[in-house]
């Protein structure tokens, strides 16, 4: 079976970065979102890592921030 040739993906690296992540230093491009945490603007990957870490270490605090109910039983 022959697979159709795919069009080459556009290389977004042609564009100059619009900003750099305040944590990892990674490049962030125009129209990508950044997240402010502890005074630093983070890329999406660092934001995800921070939330995942918070979820593991202190889920009660995260639930409070998200205005979610929680209770001891």
Span of 8-16, 20-28, 30-38, 61-69 interacting with Zn ion by CB under 5 A = 20-28
Helices (H), the chain: 44-57, 59-65
**Subset of residues 22 to 51 that bind Zn ion, contact rule: CB under 5 A:** 23-24, 26, 43, 46
Tell me the residue nearest to Zn ion as measured from the CB.
21
Q: What are phi and psi of 50, to 5 degrees?
A: -65, -45
Q: Enumerate the β-bridge partners of residue 37.
A: 40
Q: CB-wise, 23 or 37, nearer to Zn ion?
A: 23
Q: Rounded distance, CA 12 to CA 48, Å?
A: 22
Question: Which residues bind to Zn ion, rule: CB under 5 A?
Answer: 21, 23-24, 26, 43, 46
């Amino acid at each position: 079976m022959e697979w159709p040739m795919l069009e080459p993906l556009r290389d977004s690296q042609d564009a100059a970065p619009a900003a750099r992540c305040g944590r990892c230093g990674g490049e962030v491009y125009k129209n990508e979102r950044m997240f402010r945490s502890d005074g630093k603007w983070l890329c999406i990957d660092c934001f995800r890592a921070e939330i995942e870490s918070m979820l593991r270490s202190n889920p009660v605090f995260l639930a409070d921030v998200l205005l979610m109910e929680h209770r001891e039983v």
